[in-house]
Amino acid sequence: MAFIEDYRLDEIKNEVEEVAYKELETQLAKIPDEDICKCIDCVQDMACFALNQIKPRYTVSLLGSLYTRVETESLIEDISKVVASSIQKISQNPLHSKS
Ligand SMILES: [Zn+2]
């Protein structure tokens, strides 16, 4: 798509994704592997479930990025709660059959 390339729209990023992924990684690391399924399907599901509940923050410039980072810091606690409930929900109801 020339339009996307002409205007470098692929440089636009949702900064919340990074925070949510980091939080998901941290929280999953604290849960023993035998307690929940950590397969690709389940972890992708947890990420989608969490991200769909968090307001996105799209930025493109460094300035916007800094602004968002400050804003995001006050929301890390919210993101952490959303991620925790997503892990719980998906691990209790995986799309695949429980093994
Ligand atoms: Zn799984």
Q: What is the C-alpha to C-alpha distance for residues 76 and 38, in angstroms, rounded to an integer? A: 23
> Does a structural domain hold residue 2?
no
Ligand 1 center–CA 36 separation, angstroms: 8
Please check whether residue 68 lies inside any domain of the structure.
yes
C-alpha of residue 92 to centroid of ligand 1, in Å: 10
Q: Which residue has the higher pLDDT, 51 or 77?
A: 51
Q: 98 falls in which pLDDT band (50, 70, 90)?
A: low
Q: Is residue 22 part of a domain?
A: yes
Residue 48 lies in a domain: yes
Considering its fold, how many domains does the chain have in total?
Answer: 1
pLDDT in tens, 11-41: 898 888 988 999 999 999 999 999 999 999 9
How many angstroms is it from 91 CA to the middle of ligand 1?
Answer: 8
Using the mean position of ligand 1's atoms as its centre, give its distance from the Cα of residue 71 in Å: 33
Q: What is the 3-state secondary structure (H, E, C) of 10-71?
A: HHCEEHHHHHHHHHHHHHHHCCCCCCCCCCHHHHHHHHHHHHCCCCCCEECCHHHHHHHHHH
**Cα 38 to ligand 1 centroid, rounded to whole Å:** 6
Q: Domain for residue 37, yes or no?
A: yes
Q: Sign of torsion, CA 29 34 37 40?
A: positive
pLDDT tens profile 40-65: 999 999 999 999 999 888 888 666 56
